[in-house]
Structure formats: structure tokens, C-alpha cells
Amino acid sequence: MSAVTARVGDDILRRDSKYEQGRTAVLFVDMQRIWCEPELDPTHPQGAESYYHRRLRETVVPNQVRILEAARAAPCNVLHTIIESLTLDGRDRSLDHKLSNMHVPKGAPEGEIIAALHPVVNEIVLPKTSSGVFNSTNIDYVLRNLDTRYLIVAGVITDQCVDMAVRDAADRGYLVTVVEDACATYSQERHDAALRAYAGYCWTTDTQTVVDRLQALRRA
């Protein structure tokens, strides 16, 4: 797919076009304590030695830290989306979240972004109550105000909220990068199947490639 080009104004673009200074953003999806620490998720209970938590601990979080540090140094815009209700009782949640018994009350400690990725001043945090960040937040409005063309996506769950972010961003005209070794779901089979399913909407690459590109922005 990356060999195909399209003209946008004066630019010739591919899915893997080089990032541009001032037009590149990183989105971390749902990297919260409730989904990233063992035994906290009531919808998918996972122990510390499960595939999911081992992947988070050994691969995904370290890789996301590298991406975050490179993004901050570049600098480029960093956004975090979290699942969190606007109310304590969750009455504003989507019907799907109600039926799934998924509720993170506003301000709940388990809803905090994990310490390793905790936002700093001027990083944007967008609470959502659906799988799709483009459906239940104003992220599209924000990204356009930031003049974003390139959106780098990492987070959980590969075949749920990450999937929705990728497809919806592509449909809205962003060039999406998925960092495959900075995402996780509950099995390797599900992870690989998800990446294959939405490969046509994005450029799929690895952490080292993304870090190298972000460092090139800084040098530029």
C-alpha cells in the first residue's frame, strides 16, 4: 500500500511519507491503570503473568516511553485518550459501555494514566465513553486546530479502541502510523489479526522506525 501516492495540494503523499515538523502528533490510547495494571479491569480480568500483562510490561510500555520521549524532544503534539465518564455515576456513558459494564468514574484513581506515561504540562488528555475517540471526543477538531497531518497511534486494545482510532482517523484524512510493538490485546493471534484487518487504513511499523523519524524532526 505504501507505494501508492496521492496528490494533496502541492504535496505527493504516501502512507509512509516522512513526518513534517509542526504537523505530526502522537496519540496514546487508554494507557490507564485500570487497563494496564493486573487484576484491575473488571471486564477482562488478567493476572500479572498473563500474555497481555507480560507484553505490556516487557514490550509495549517501554516502547511507548521511548516514543513519548522522542515526541517531547522533537517537539510534536502529544495527546492521550482515556476511558472516563463525565459523571460519577456514569449516566453519560455510551449504551455499549453500559451494556459492557464499563465505567471509570470521573477522577477515579484507577482511571489515571500510568506513571511511566503521565502527561506533562501542555499535553492533551481527552476522556471518552466509547471505543472510538473520534466518536465521543472533539479530537478531530483539536487535531485540525493543531494543523495535524500525521497521526502516530499506540495503545490498547489493538483490536478495539486502537482499531477504531486508526480507521476513523484515516477516514477523516489523517496519515496514520500504527506502532505495532507499542500496542497490545489479549493474545498474539488477536493482535496480528487486527493489524492485518486495518492495514489498508494506515502504515504499520515499529518503535525504532518511529523514534528515528521523530529524532529526524528534532534535527530538522
Per-residue model confidence as pLDDT tens digits over 189-211:
999 999 999 999 999 999 999 99
Percent of the chain with pLDDT strictly greater than 90 = 89
Considering the entire predicted model, what is its pTM? 0.95
What's the one-letter identity of residue 122? N
CA distances from 181 to 4, 38, 127, 144, 209 (A): 25, 20, 24, 27, 11
pLDDT at position 80: 98
pLDDT at position 2: 45
Label residue 1 by pLDDT band (50, 70, 90): very low
**What integer is the mean pLDDT of 168-188?**
98
Which residues neighbour 121 within 8 Å (Cβ) at sequence distance 6 or greater?
none
Phi, psi (degrees; rounded to nearest 5) at 156 = -130, 150
Q: At what angle do helices 161-171 and 188-197 cross, to 10 degrees?
A: 10
pLDDT at 130 over 70: yes
Per-residue model confidence as pLDDT tens digits over 3-21:
788 888 768 888 888 999 9
Higher pLDDT pick, 115 / 15 = 115
Question: How does the average pLDDT of the chain come out, rounded?
Answer: 95
